[in-house]
Amino acid sequence: MLREAGAGARPVRRPAELDAVQALIVPGGESTAMWKLADAFDLLEPLRMRIKEGMPAYGSCAGMIMLADRIVDGAAGQQTIGGIDMVVRRNAFGRQVDSFETNLDFAGAPVHAVFIRAPWVESVGPGVDVLGRAEPGDRIVAVRQGPLLATSFHPELTGDTRVHRYFVDMVREL
């Protein structure tokens, strides 16, 4: 998706690899496993530092949880990278069997969104822009705060590069 959006990509698993990138995508997956692995590989503090220093980052699904300053229904002791002034509810849309697809407005453009055991945003601070909402309940599912972007859904599963292009354009504008 990043190559199609005009950017390069490389994996980041260790602090030296983090030092070599200008921006970061925190993918979907399992947020508790991401936290534990980031901690085990001594990446948690370097990630927090880079985010504080203004490194652009995009988190989708579990990545949204990782970029949240506060989470609800996390595992005992679960930590995040933080950076976005929001409260995110983990697995808010339900279990795996409750996964769904829907069309929604993302930053003024219609997108098809895939939600898999997805979080939603319970609340945002004053510096956070809401970029998308989804039913049921008109829940916040896409946000931006400065160089940080997060979505509850997985745009990489649709073949539509608009969300990734939005992020790449964000990075280029900074």
Q: What gap in Å lies between CA 150 and CA 82, rounded to an integer?
A: 11
Given the residues 61, 101, 122, 164, the one annotated as active site: 61
Which residues are CB-neighbours of 139 under 8 A, at least 6 positions away? 92, 93, 120, 121, 133, 152
Which is the catalytic residue, given 17, 112, 154, 173? 154
154 is catalytic: yes
Number of Cβ within a 10 Å radius of residue 163: 27
Active site residue 61: yes
| Catalytic residue selected from 53, 122, 156, 164 | 156
Query: How far is the CA of 91 from the CAs of 48, 73, 117, 123, 165, in angstroms?
Result: 23, 8, 5, 16, 26
Q: Which of 142, 158, 163 is nearest to 64 (CA)?
A: 142
Active site residue 112: no
As annotated, the active-site residues are: 61, 154, 156
